[in-house]
Amino acid sequence: MVAFMRALADGGITTVPDFRDPTARHLLARPWSTFLRLSERRLQRASPQARQAAALWADVLAVRTVAIDSYLREALARGIRQVVILGAGLDGRAYRVRELAEADVFEVDHPATQSFKRSRLGSLTPASKQLHFVAVDFERDSLDAALERAGHRTREPTFFIWEGVVMYLSDEAARSTLRVVSARSPPGSSIVINYSTPNPRPRGLSILLRLWSEPQIGERTPSAMQALVKEAGFDIAEDVGMPECSQRFGAQPPPPRLSQRFRLLLATARDSLAGQ
C-alpha cells in the first residue's frame, strides 16, 4: 500500500511539487500494479475535486518520503558514508538517491520480504556505492550480529532510517532495536524515526490493518517516543508533524484526521557513545 501511494504520487497525484519516485511502480506486486493502472485511468477522467481528494491521501506518503530524503541528503552532505534502513520493505532510496554514490546502504528486513523485493527489481540498479541486503527475522535473529556480518562498521558514523515500523512495535521491541542502533552509532551518527500518535485513524485504514493482521500497537505521544530515544542514548534534534512537513515542502495542508497522526523524529548520537 505504501509503494502504491508513492507510485500514485509519482504519477502526479500529489500536491508535493516535483515529487518523483519512479522505483515505486517497479516494486509493486502484480495485483497492485493492476490496481495502480486502473486508479490512474480513473483519476485521469475524474473531476479536479476528486483528484485533489486522492492527492491528499497520496501526500501523506509523498511528504513523508521527501522529508526523510531531505534528512538523508543532509547527512550525506556532512560526510556520512553508511546508511541503514530498518524494516526497508519496498523502500527505493538505494536506487534513486544519487547522493548515495559514495555510501554503503544496508537494507534490513525479513527474509521473505527481501526475497519478494529482489524478485521485483527488474532493471533497477543501485545508486549507492554498495547495497547490502541484511535478512533478519526479528523473532529469532540478532540485528547486531546480522549487521556485523554484513560489514557495517561501528567506528564510522551511520545514518539510520526507521520509517513506518515503530507503530507496529511494543515498547520493549522498540527499545531492543534502539539499543542495537545506539551501540553501533559513534558520534556523528543520527536516526530518523517515523511514528504515529494515538489519535483516531481513518476507518478505511483501520479495516485494512485488521485484514492484514498488522495492528498498530505502538502508537505513542511525542513525549513517550522522545523518552524511548533519549533512554537509548540519543539527543532529539527535531520532532515535527505533518502540518510542518507539508508547509516545509510546499504541499497542501493535510486533512485534520491525518495531520495529528504522522510525525518524524530526528535524533543524534551523544558523544558519550564513543568507543562502544
Q: Has residue 210 got a pLDDT over 90?
A: no
- Burial classification of residue 190, based on how many CB atoms lie within 10 Å of its CB (0-12 exposed, 13-18 middle, 19 or more buried): buried
Mean of pLDDT values over 230-237: 97
* pLDDT score recorded for residue 139: 76
Given this model, what pLDDT does residue 256 score? Answer: 75
d(CA 203, CA 37): 25
Q: What angle do CA 56, 262, 183 make, to 5 degrees?
A: 140
Average pLDDT rounded to a whole number, residues 57-78 = 96
pLDDT given for residue 158 in this prediction: 98
* Domain residue limits at 70: 60-273
Q: What is the CATH number of the domain that holds 152?
A: 3.40.50.150
pLDDT for res 240: 97
Tell me the C-alpha distance between 67 and 72, whole Å: 9
Q: Is residue 5 a part of any domain in this protein?
A: no
- Sign of the CA dihedral 140, 95, 44, 59? positive
pLDDT tens-digit readout, 138-148: 878 999 999 99
* Selected residue with higher pLDDT from 208 and 150: 150
Whether the pLDDT of residue 257 is over 50: the answer is: yes
Is 88 a domain residue?
yes
CB-based contacts of 184: which residues, under 8 Å, 6+ apart? 144, 147, 152, 154, 158
In a domain, residue 163? The reply is yes
Look at residue 33 and tell me if it is in a domain.
no
In a domain, 78, yes or no: yes
What cell does 66 get?
Answer: 521527501
The CA angle 45-31-242, to the nearest 5 degrees, is: 65
If one counts the domains in the chain, the total is 1
42 lies in some domain: no
Is residue 161 assigned to a domain?
A: yes
Q: Report whether pLDDT(270) > 90.
A: no
Q: What is the pLDDT of residue 205?
A: 53
SS3 of 104, please? strand
> Domain for residue 55, yes or no?
no
Checking if the pLDDT of 274 tops 50, the result is no
Q: Region 79-95: what's the mean pLDDT? A: 97
